[in-house]
Amino acid sequence: VISVLYLYYINFSIQASRDSRRLDSTAKSPIYSSFTEVLDGLSCVRGFCYQKMMRATMINYIRESNKTYYLNMLCMRWMEMRVEILGNLSVAGAAVFAVMAKGSIDPALLSLSITQSMDVGIAIGFMLMMMSRTEVLMAAMERIVEYIEDSPSEKSFDKEEAPTSWPSQGAIDIRELSVKYREELP
pLDDT-based confidence at 53, cuts 50/70/90? very high
- Chain Cα centroid distance, residue 71: 10
Residue 156 has φ and ψ, to the nearest 5°, of: -95, 135
pLDDT over threshold 90, residue 142: no
**3-class DSSP state for residue 105?**
strand
pLDDT-based confidence at 63, cuts 50/70/90? very high
Average pLDDT of the segment spanning 131-152: 76
Give CA angle at 123 (7, 128), nearest 5°.
45
77-136 pLDDT, tens digit per residue, is 888 888 888 888 888 988 898 888 888 888 888 888 888 888 888 888 788 778 877 877
Residue 56: predicted pLDDT: 94
pLDDT over threshold 70, residue 20: yes
- CA distances for 72 relative to 5, 25, 58, 94, 136, angstroms: 22, 10, 21, 33, 11
More confident residue, 166 or 39: 39
pLDDT-based confidence at 157, cuts 50/70/90? low
